């Protein structure tokens, strides 16, 4: 999202997934014994509660402005698009994009809702349902919808960088829009990343960005 920026604290990404029949309604999903949370952790309980004001290592009163200069150890760059298959993108090019979940610098294996407000999943973590924040917006003020998230997943899976094209189909079996602000991801039960390690599977696939579908009517990821 070019700065498909959210007016939210900067905090980390795509999905859980499994054995729910296609065509399940939101009401049917709600009837199941689902866990609803603002964060998930591979190791115990997430450090921060749902109402935390700011990360412990962040100064909310830090001065704003100034300049930052970066060098490229691997050479120069010719693109500010970090997900293009052509050329070399600049350092920190991903800061123009946001994802469903985000990580923190003072925890290992934890992921917090960013574009989403909550996520719901069964104890087995076969799938996950993300509920997007009402205030999640792109830089032009249009809301981030479940359809945008689905589009982002599909274009990265089919036309994205080799890492996305290899990992997304292997990890995620399906994605389904349940409502304007609600999307469900189901894990591939045959994935080596899932079998025996399903409790960790929610975090690795959630770093994919959300991009606006209407901004890509005639474009490909190249």
- Backbone φ/ψ region at 56: left (φ over 0), alpha (ψ -120 to 50), beta: alpha
Q: Indicate if the pLDDT at residue 1 is higher than 90.
A: no
Percent of the chain with pLDDT strictly greater than 90: 33
Q: What is the pLDDT of residues 75-114, one digit of tens each?
A: 688 888 888 788 888 888 888 889 999 889 999 888 899 9
Least trusted range by pLDDT, from 11-15, 85-89, 136-140: 11-15
pLDDT at 18 over 50: no
Q: For residue 192, what are the domain limits?
A: 26-43+80-214
- How far apart CA 132 and CA 1 sit, in angstroms, is 15
| Number of C-beta neighbours around residue 100 at 10 A | 30
pLDDT band at 125 (very low <50, low <70, confident <90, very high): confident
Closest CA to 76 of 91, 56, 64: 91
More confident site: 72 or 182: 182
Confidence of residue 58 (pLDDT cuts 50, 70, 90): very high
Residue by residue, DSSP assigns 128-190 as: EEEEE-TT-B-TTSPBP-HHHHHHHHHHHHHHS-HHHHHHHHHHEEEEEEEETTEEEEEE-TT
CATH code for position 110: 3.40.190.10
Q: What is the sign of the dihedral through the CA atoms of 129, 133, 138 and 141?
A: positive
Q: In whole angstroms, how far apart are CA 105 and each of 40, 63, 112, 124, 138?
A: 15, 21, 12, 27, 25
Kindly report, residue by residue over 154-176, the tens digit of the pLDDT: 888 888 888 788 878 888 889 99
Q: Which residue has the higher pLDDT, 114 or 222?
A: 114
Is residue 63 included in any domain, yes or no?
no
Residue 184 lies in a domain: yes
**Cβ distance 103 to 12 under 8 Å?**
yes
Domain-located, residue 2: no
Q: How many helices (H) and strands (E) does the chain have?
A: 3, 8
75, part of any domain: no
- Cβ(123)–Cβ(114) under 8 Å? no
Question: How high is the mean pLDDT of the chain?
Answer: 77
Total number of domains in the chain: 1
Residues 6 or more apart in contact with residue 47 via CB below 8 angstroms: 104, 106, 107, 110
Residue 60 within any structural domain of the chain: no
Residue 157 lies in a domain: yes
Residue 13 within any structural domain of the chain? no
Q: Is residue 115 part of a domain?
A: yes
């Amino acid at each position: 999202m070019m700065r498909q920026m959210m007016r939210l604290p900067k905090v980390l990404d795509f999905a859980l997934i499994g054995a729910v029949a296609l065509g399940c309604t939101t009401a049917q999903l709600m009837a199941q014994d689902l866990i609803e949370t603002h964060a998930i952790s591979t190791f115990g309980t997430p450090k921060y509660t749902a109402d935390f004001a700011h990360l412990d290592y962040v100064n909310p009163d830090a001065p704003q402005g100034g300049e930052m200069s970066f060098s490229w150890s691997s050479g120069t760059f010719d693109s500010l698009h970090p997900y293009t298959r052509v050329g070399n993108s600049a350092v920190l090019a991903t800061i123009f994009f946001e994802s469903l979940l985000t990580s923190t610098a003072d925890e290992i294996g934890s992921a917090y809702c960013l574009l989403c407000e909550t996520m719901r999943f069964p104890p087995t973590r076969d799938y996950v349902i993300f509920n997007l924040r009402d205030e999640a917006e792109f830089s032009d003020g249009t809301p981030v919808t479940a359809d945008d998230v689905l589009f982002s997943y599909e274009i990265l899976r089919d036309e994205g960088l080799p890492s996305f094209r290899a990992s997304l189909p292997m990890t995620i079996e399906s994605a389904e829009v349940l409502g304007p602000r609600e999307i469900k991801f189901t894990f591939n039960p045959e994935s080596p990343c899932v079998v025996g390690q399903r409790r960790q599977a929610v975090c690795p696939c959630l770093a994919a960005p959300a991009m606006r579908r209407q901004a890509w009517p005639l474009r490909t990821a190249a």
